[in-house]
Amino acid sequence: MKELKLEEWNENPFKVIGKDWMLITAEKDGRTNMMTASWGGLGIMWGKNVVTVYIRPSRFTKEFVDAGEKFSICIMDEKYRKQLNYCGSKSGRDEDKVKACGFSVEKGDGTVWFKESRLVLVCKKLYSQPMDAAALNDEKLRNAMWKDDVHEMYIAEIEKAFVQ
């Protein structure tokens, strides 16, 4: 993979996050786990390039993201849609998702990612905070999305980006 300067990235983040989806990937005690995510954002905070992701406390991946200083965001090609659906419906608590997907783990820059990714963001956690359901103004959304298991928000600096 070759390094990408984010300033030269010319994809649409609404498509990449909302349609392609992300694999939030992290390591804990030598094991890698990942989950599909389609809520998030890319932007600038504290003068840095950041990604924001939202992870419900029930997710096994949350333990992995919480365990270390870094995690990665892997964006996969359309041919991996089956694996993305799998990673968004099965928990690493019950099975070895990396093995089931047949992905190859690459280690570097203090985190892990998958060689099969078409784009990788190496992310360093800067800020995390459980979200407050009472602060969501839209009652319908609150009732539909946040009866319980309310997301924690993570803002992470994008330290490096790689593309195929």
Ligand X SMILES: Cc1cc2nc3c(=O)[nH]c(=O)nc-3n(C[C@H](O)[C@H](O)[C@H](O)COP(=O)(O)O)c2cc1C
Q: Which residues bind ligand X (CB under 6 A)?
A: 21, 33, 35-39, 54-56, 59-61, 88-93, 151
Nearer to ligand X among residue 37 and residue 156 (C-beta): 37
Q: Is the Cβ of residue 9 or residue 39 nearer to ligand X in the bound state?
A: 39
Q: Which CB sits closer to ligand X, 66 or 109?
A: 66
Q: How far is the CB of 23 from ligand X (least distance, A)?
A: 9
Q: How far is the CB of 140 from ligand X (least distance, A)?
A: 19
H helix intervals, the chain: 13-15, 60-67, 81-87, 97-101, 139-145
What are the beta bridge partners of residue 105? 114
Nearest to 4 by CA among 105, 73, 64, 56: 73
- Both tokens of residue 40? 């998030």
Closest approach of Cβ 46 to ligand X, in Å?
23
Q: How far is the CB of 80 from ligand X (least distance, A)?
A: 13
Q: Looking at beta carbons only, is 61 or 124 nearer to ligand X?
A: 61
- Strand locations in 38-118, DSSP E? 40-45, 48-55, 70-75, 105-108, 111-114
**What region does 148 belong to: left with phi over 0, alpha with psi -120 to 50, or beta?**
beta
Question: What is the smallest separation between the CB atom of 147 and ligand X, expressed in angstroms?
Answer: 14
Query: How many Å apart are CA 72 and CA 148, to the nearest integer?
Result: 26
- Residue number with the smallest Cβ distance to ligand X: 88
Closer CB to ligand X, 7 or 82, in the complex:
82
